[in-house]
């Protein structure tokens, strides 16, 4: 049986727009963090009232507005900054209060939150739970931003195939028009393999391509000059006129490709696990701590109307001793061949950025 909590058309003000090396939309870790915080307020395991937990979250974007400006035409965008808090100005002996660089945005999103257990509640109790969720959300932060309005909170469930189909239609009505965020780490693996094959065939480039090169191909917006050859001219020269044309991002197998973006999807440990109180100035002295770095992958914005199965758009935590990742179950791992001097070893795995940079 599938059960979901749908938060429709959530208006958020001043959310964090910077995620690792990228900016423009909050990291998926921040939305899963909101899901976990809401679960702690509802579940009996953390002192709440209900016998369930919220274990995953799908994200649908409706509208975004980054607080940026251009100092001049064709210049890079810059974030609007302010000195906070300005009340400290009089305590600085005439000196300016320092500006802490921040990237803020306003956005409207919807969430499809997965419930891990079957709810045995009456219609009246379900309505009460929905109102409870709305009450809690208005008192919470999402990606560091303030929740201004939530159009509707709805709990939906389905067990049979017919009910699953009807539930999907209801979810689409609550979340359209919008674009759902998908995990496309398999595209990054595929493109990286293509770069390696091209390098092995041509042997023209000086350096062997890295996973970072493949990731940057999805991140950068590229244009190239397309020469306009005259009649009888086969090779362009310095006097040949040209038009600038957009260089599309790497070709994909998807029959209906969406808009591909660089995406922060978790963290990688870069230190040992420290005992509580061992590291100074941490949030509390009862929790273990560890230093980490951001992990980046590739995501895709795709129209919500293309969704065939709700389970494939739900982001979930996946973690072990070193990795803390957010993933979806919408793709199969790519088989990667590692060539050694003596033999070839084939293994099925997910390529992680730092490991791959050290491996190849």
Q: What is the pLDDT of residues 69-117, one digit of tens each?
A: 988 887 888 888 876 665 555 565 666 666 777 889 999 999 999 998 8
State yes or no: cis peptide before 299, omega within 30 of 0.
no
Please state, as a whole number, how many other Cβ atoms lie within 10 Å of the Cβ of residue 3.
Answer: 18
Q: What's the Cα-to-Cα distance from 144 to each of 59, 69, 141, 163, rounded to whole Å?
A: 16, 21, 5, 36
pLDDT one-digit tens code per residue, 120-174: 888 898 999 999 999 999 999 999 999 999 999 999 988 888 988 999 999 999 9
Q: Are the CB atoms for 174 and 110 separated by under 8 Å?
A: yes
- Rounded to two decimals, the pTM is 0.80
Q: Are the CB atoms for 137 and 110 separated by under 8 Å?
A: no
Give the per-residue pLDDT at 154. 92
Domain limits, the chain: 2-177, 186-202+209-222+242-304+316-359
How far is the C-alpha of 136 from the C-alpha of 195, rounded, in Å?
A: 48
**Tokens matching residue 164:** 């699953």
Say if strands 335-339 and 344-348 run parallel, antiparallel, or are unpaired.
antiparallel
Strand residues in 116-241 grouped as ranges (E) = 141-142, 145-158, 179-183, 222-227
Q: Are the CB atoms for 184 and 297 separated by under 8 Å?
A: yes
193 contacts: CB under 8 Å, gap ≥ 6 = 334, 336
Query: Where do we find the tokens 């999402």?
Result: 142
Give the per-residue pLDDT at 195. 85
211-219 helix and 185-202 helix, angle to the nearest 10 degrees: 120
Give the per-residue pLDDT at 95. 65
């Amino acid at each position: 049986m599938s059960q979901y909590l749908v938060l429709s058309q959530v208006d958020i003000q001043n959310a964090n727009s910077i995620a690792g090396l990228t900016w423009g939309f909050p990291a998926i870790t921040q939305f899963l963090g909101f899901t976990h915080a809401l679960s702690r307020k509802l579940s009996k395991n953390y002192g709440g009232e209900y016998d369930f937990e919220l274990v995953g979250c799908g994200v649908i974007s409706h509208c975004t507005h980054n607080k940026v400006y251009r100092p001049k035409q064709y210049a890079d965008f810059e974030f609007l900054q302010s000195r906070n808090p300005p009340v400290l100005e009089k305590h600085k002996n005439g000196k300016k209060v320092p500006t802490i660089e921040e990237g803020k945005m306003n956005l409207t999103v919807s969430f499809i939150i997965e419930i891990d257990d079957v709810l045995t509640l009456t219609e009246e109790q379900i309505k009460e739970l929905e109102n409870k969720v709305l009450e809690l959300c208005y008192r919470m932060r999402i990606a560091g931003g303030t929740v201004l309005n939530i159009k509707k909170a709805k709990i939906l469930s389905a067990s049979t195939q017919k009910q699953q189909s009807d539930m999907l239609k209801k979810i689409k009505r609550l979340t359209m028009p919008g674009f759902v965020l998908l995990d496309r780490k398999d595209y990054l693996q595929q493109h990286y393999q293509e770069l390696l094959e091209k390098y092995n065939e041509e042997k023209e480039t000086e350096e062997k391509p890295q996973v970072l090169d493949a990731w940057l191909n999805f991140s950068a917006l590229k244009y190239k000059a397309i020469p306009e050859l005259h009649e009888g001219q086969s090779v362009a020269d310095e006097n040949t006129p040209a038009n600038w044309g957009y260089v599309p991002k790497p070709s994909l197998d998807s029959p209906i490709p969406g808009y591909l973006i660089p995406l922060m999807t978790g963290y990688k440990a870069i230190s040992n696990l420290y005992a509580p109180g061992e590291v100074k100035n941490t949030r509390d002295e009862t929790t273990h701590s560890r230093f980490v770095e951001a992990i980046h992958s590739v995501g895709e914005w795709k129209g919500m109307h293309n969704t065939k199965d709700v389970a494939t758009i739900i982001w979930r935590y996946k973690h072990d001793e070193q990795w803390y990742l957010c993933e979806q179950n919408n793709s199969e791992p790519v088989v990667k061949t590692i060539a050694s001097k003596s033999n070839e070893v084939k293994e099925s795995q997910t390529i992680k950025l730092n490991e791959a940079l050290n491996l190849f």
